[in-house]
Amino acid sequence: MKVVLFCGGLGTRLGELTENIPKPLVKIGYRPILWHVMKYYAHFGHKDFILCLGYRADTIKDYFLNYKEYLSNDFTMSNGGKDIQLMQSDIADWKITFVDTGLRANIGQRLKAVEKYLDGEEIFLANYSDGLTNCPLPDMIDSVVKAGKIACFLCAKPSQSFHVVKLETDNSVKNIQSVQKSDIRINAGFFVFRKEIFNYIKPGEELVVEPFQRLIEAKQIIGYRSDQFWCMDTFKEHQELTDMYNLGNAPWEVWKNFARRRDSVFRILCLGAHSDDIEIGCGGTILRWLDEYPSSEICWIVMGASGERRAEAVQSANLFLANARRKEIVVKEFRDGYFPYNGAEIKDFFEDLKGKYVPDVILTHHREDLHQDHRLVSELTWNTFRSHLILEYEIAKYDGDLGAPNFFVHLTESVAQRKIRTILECFQSQKKKSWFTEDAFSSVLRLRGIESNAPNKYAEGFYCRKIVC
C-alpha cells in the first residue's frame, strides 16, 4: 500500500530543534524521526511513500537526495575510501514521491493535494510523522477490511505525564489520577483510509474536524486501541526517545526483531510427534514470523501420521506455510504411542536431519511433556542439535502437564484466530475430542497473553533452556 506522510508542519513546540529544519527531520540517534516512521512501514512491506512537504521542504529533499547509507549499515571500505561496499541497504527498494503541499496548509488540505498520486489505491496509509509505535500494522489494516469502514486511526494513551481530574457538580474533586491510568485515548496519527475518504473532505477543512465528524455520523470510522505509542511533541519527549534509543531500548524498531532484516533468510525447523502438534503448539508463532519475514524457509516434520491423519497434516502444513519462500513438508509413519520402542530408528532419522538442515531456530516439544512420544522428540532434538536456538512448545491435554513457560511470542487477534480457524478446519478427525474446541485453544493463548502482558491479549508460551549470544 502507498503511505502518505505529512511532513509540512512547523513543529513549534520543539523549540530550537526546529528552527532550521522541519519537525520530521529532528533526529533520534543517527536518523530523523521521519526515517524511523518509514522504516516501520517498510518492515511490513509498504515502501511506496508520498511526502507532503511544506516548511523547509528543501531540507527533506536534500536529506534523501544525499542519503548516507553508511550511517546505519555495515560496509567495507577499500582503496583509501574510494570504494565502499555496503553490506545492507536501507532504502534501495523504497519509492518516494516528494510533493509540495503548501507552507501553511492543514492536514486535510495536504491530503487532498496528493489525491492524484493515490489513483487506483483502494486502501492507503497515512501518518503525522511525529510519533512512533510497535503496533501490529497488519492487524490494524485487517480491522478496516473486516469492518468495511472508510477510516481507522490508532487510539493510544497519551505519552505525557499530566494528571486528569473529575469534578462533581458542586466542583468537589471526585477523582484525580495519572492520564496513563485513565481511559483517555488520543488520536496517535497512524491512519488507514479507503479512497472514499476524499468524498468527505471539502476545501480548506482540517482532516480530523469536519471530515471525521461526517464519518462519525455515517458510522464509517473506527479506532484501533493500542498502548504502544511514543510521541515526539515536546523537547522533553524528544530527549526521552533519544535516551531509549541510546540504551538500546527502542521498541518501535520492529525491523530489528531477531536482529535480522525482513528480507533476510530465516530458517526454521518445526518438529512434531503427531499430526496437529506443531499447529497447536506454535502455529501462531509461525504465522507471525511468516508475516514479518516472508523470506523464511521452513522444514516442517511430522513424525507419526498415516491415512486420514497424514492427509490432514499435509493440508494444514500447506496452509500454515502459504507465505513461506521455501517449504519442505515431511510426514513419517512411526507408530503413535510407540516412539520409545522405535528409538533407534527415530534416532537415525534425527541424525540424518542434522546433516541436511542448519536452522536458525528449532521448534519442538517440551521435554517435560507427559506424552512419551512428545518427550522422546524433545530429547532427540537436544541430543542432535547442540548449537542451535531451541524453543519447546506446549500442548494442553488430559495429563495436565502445562508448566510455566519463560519465553513468549505475542500474537495479534487476527493471527490467533487464523491459527485456531485453520486447526478446526483441517483436523476433522479430531472434532469429537473434548479438547478440540475453539475455546480450548483460545483459552491457552489468552492465559499466556495475560502472563506476558500481551498488548493484543494473545501469546504462545515456550520453554527456552539455553540462549547463547
Helices and strands (H and E) in the chain: how many: 12, 22
For the chain, state the CA radius of gyration.
Answer: 26
The phi and psi torsions of 220 (rounded to 5 degrees) equal -120, 20
Domains, the chain, in order of start with CATH, read: 2-158+184-257 (3.90.550.10), 265-463 (3.40.50.10320)
| Torsion angle, alpha carbons of 348, 349, 355, 357, to 10 | -160
Residue 19 burial (C-beta neighbours within 10 Å; 0-12, 13-18, 19+): exposed
Task: State residue 260's pLDDT score.
Answer: 47
> Which pLDDT score is estimated for 360?
86
On the CB side of 147, how many CA atoms lie within 13 Å of its CA? 20
Element (H, E) at 304: strand 297-304
**CA 279, CA 461: separation in Å to the nearest integer?**
13
**Per residue in 194-230, is it b (16+ CB within 10 Å) or e — as a string?**
beebeebbeeebebbeebbebbeeeebbbebebebbb
| CA atoms of 119 and 30, how far apart (whole Å) | 35
Residue 17 has a pLDDT of 65
**Which backbone phi and psi does 202 adopt, to 5 degrees?**
-105, 160
How many Cβ atoms sit within 10 Å of the Cβ of residue 88?
13
Point out the residues of the chain with pLDDT beneath 50. 258-262
Q: What are the cell numbers at 390?
A: 531451541
Give the model's pLDDT for residue 180: 67
pLDDT, tens digit, 9 for 90 and up, residues 397-427:
988 999 999 999 999 999 999 999 999 999 9
